[in-house]
Amino acid sequence: MYMNFIWGVVLLVGGICLYFIKMANHDYDKTMNIGGIIMMLVSAILILTSFIRVVPAGTVGVFDLFGKVSDQERFAGLNIVHPFAQLQICNIKTEEIKEVMSVPSKEGLSINLDISILYRLLPEKASDIYSTVGVNYRNIAIVPQFRSVARGVTVNYEAKGLYTSGREEIAQKIFADLETLLKERGIILENVLLRSIQLPSTVSKAIEVKLKAEQEAEQMKFILEKERKEAERRIIEAEGIAKAQEIINKTLTQSYLQHEAIQAQMKMSESPNHTTVYIPVGDNGIPLVRMLGQ
């Protein structure tokens, strides 16, 4: 924007010359006078606009005047700045870094890790980062530490942990370690995402076989536990039947049996298909009922 300022000064000087010098001469030309006025108006617009800078939404401006960086950031909207100053625009929206990196496991295996992080820049720290790191802070302050932390975390876990539910714990550990490092620079880490993990084919197959065996063992434990509970149920049921029979035997009398035999006879006699009822008397005095018929 300093070029606007320079051109504005040039036009202003030219306009003044046309306006005042021509008026001093006897060959005064009204057309030249109007031209001078127009030049002065254009120069005023150029000079004024050279002091105005626009910071887009979702960004913050860092004020740099001849190498001296102001600690006062310029926020979104119109800002009045020195025409010779550089206004460096820094993004403060959430950004993503995707990495496909080779990381070691506890066993020393090399694993391809597809991982990404979400981060954003603190607006009030933009001038500090610009002064100490520069505009390329992403590749200088974030990516190297991101890779280093990821490798430092995975080396403490077995390949199985990366391949199974332990991956969530690994993501949380990477987040905790990286968050501390980035926060010192004025960068907020929002999330760490483990998208996919690729193990060597032989290791992957071995882990799958092991996991299948573990699942089968767990299934067998479940079956054995189910059978044990079923056996306990049958024992309890048998004990209940035996207890009930014991109670019935204690309360069973000769008169009760005779009464039940008579009731059975009466029910049979009411049957429409019977022809003859033969009732002999047993040795114990209880009628023996027999239905003769269809």
* Least reliable range by pLDDT among 2-11, 84-93, 176-185, 243-252: 2-11
- CA 184 to chain CA centroid, nearest Å: 24
Element (DSSP H or E) covering residue 55: strand 52-55
The answer to whether the CB of 15 falls within 8 A of the CB of 40 is yes
- CA 276 to chain CA centroid, nearest Å: 85
Q: How far apart are CA 254 and CA 54, in angstroms?
A: 112
Burial of residue 281, with CB atoms counted within 10 A of its CB: 0-12 exposed, 13-18 middle, 19 or more buried: exposed
Q: How far apart are CA 165 and CA 187, in angstroms?
A: 29
The pTM of the full predicted model, rounded to 2 decimals, is 0.56
For 110, other C-beta atoms within 10 Å of its C-beta total 12
Secondary-structure class of domain 95-199 per CATH: alpha beta
> Which position has the higher pLDDT, 273 or 123?
123
Residue 143 has pLDDT above 60, yes or no: yes
| Residue 56 per-residue DSSP state | P
* Least reliable range by pLDDT among 127-141, 189-203, 259-273: 259-273
Residue 235 has pLDDT above 80, yes or no: yes
Where do the structural domains in the chain lie, given as residue ranges? 2-58+72-88, 95-199, 254-293
Burial of residue 251, with CB atoms counted within 10 A of its CB: 0-12 exposed, 13-18 middle, 19 or more buried: exposed
Convert the pLDDT of each residue in 6-44 to its tens digit: 655 565 566 666 556 655 555 555 555 566 667 667 777
Residue 104 has pLDDT above 80, yes or no: yes
Q: Report residue 274: phi and psi, to 5°.
A: -80, 155
Q: Report residue 155: phi and psi, to 5°.
A: -65, -15
Q: Most distant CA pair in the chain: distance in Å?
A: 166
What's the pLDDT at 294? Answer: 46
Convert the pLDDT of each residue in 165-176 to its tens digit: 677 888 889 999
Q: Residues for the chain: how many in total?
A: 294
